[in-house]
Amino acid sequence: MDYEKNLNEHLAVITMNRPEVLNAMNPASTKEITTIWDDFANDPEMWVAILTGAGDRAFTVGNDLKDQSSDTWPPKRDPSGWGGLVNRFGLSKPVIAAVNGWALGGGFELCLAADLVIASESARFGCPEVRIGGVPSGSIHRLIRQIPSKAAMAILLTGESIDAQEAFRIGLINEVVATEELMFKARELAKEITRSAPLGVQAVKKVIRQSDQLTLSEAMQTNYPAIEEVRSSQDSIEGRKAFAEKRRPKWKGR
């Protein structure tokens, strides 16, 4: 795994770096990326993360099936879920998936767990687990909530992959770009996010998480601590002051 932290941009870039096996995960790499996500979550200077895969052949194809014959399989289940991210529901910082090539199995689930997804023209997405006698696990629950049910069922029941344009058409991803522009576009999107107050951005995720099981009426009447935290923050004062002075705010994240 590669972990790049840009303090000036408040941006972390996490790269799954096993291109020789299409960035598939084994127990060692799973443990490593989980530690990286822990660091990102706990670093107040990191406001946005980009997750990508090394090379142009794959984002990640999920578990390293060849490794499943070793004595380290199955890996110890971590509460943060596959890739250290899919069950990390308390992470309020935005995650952008920059998908290059294949995103299969656990790789597909990482895309579903990300907040935003930018894909190269060569990207393909799928849940092939049923074709090898398995079940796509968490992807079932996320996919059916993110795209129309018939589109989700086609992906889940057939195990077939879809290309980037189809993924964009059904609302699975945000943008399709040329392969050589993938990381540039992902970084540009991250910069757009960090132009806003980090506490406000994080509050959006917190409120969505707190209200997504409520009716509209219940959601509108619920008290959200995250919103109150933003209103009483130093950044809230700075934002109003910067607006009055016609300058760009200098966010502190507090």
Distances in Å between the alpha carbon of 155 and those of 62, 137, 139?
A: 16, 13, 10
Q: Give catalytic status of residue 129 as yes or no.
A: yes
CA angle 198, 100, 127 (to 5 degrees): 95
Q: Say whether 98 sits in a helix, a strand or coil.
A: strand
Q: Give catalytic status of residue 121 as yes or no.
A: no
Tokens for 27? 């127990």
22: left (phi over 0), alpha (psi -120 to 50) or beta: left
List 109, 160, 166, 175, catalytic entry: 109
Q: Compute the distance between CA of residue 76 and CA of residue 73 in angstroms, rounded to an integer.
A: 8
Query: Which residues are CB-contacts of 192 (< 8 A; sequence separation ≥ 6)?
Result: none
List 129, 181, 188, 238, catalytic entry: 129
Tell me 105's DSSP state.
T
Could you give the residue numbers annotated as active site? 109, 129
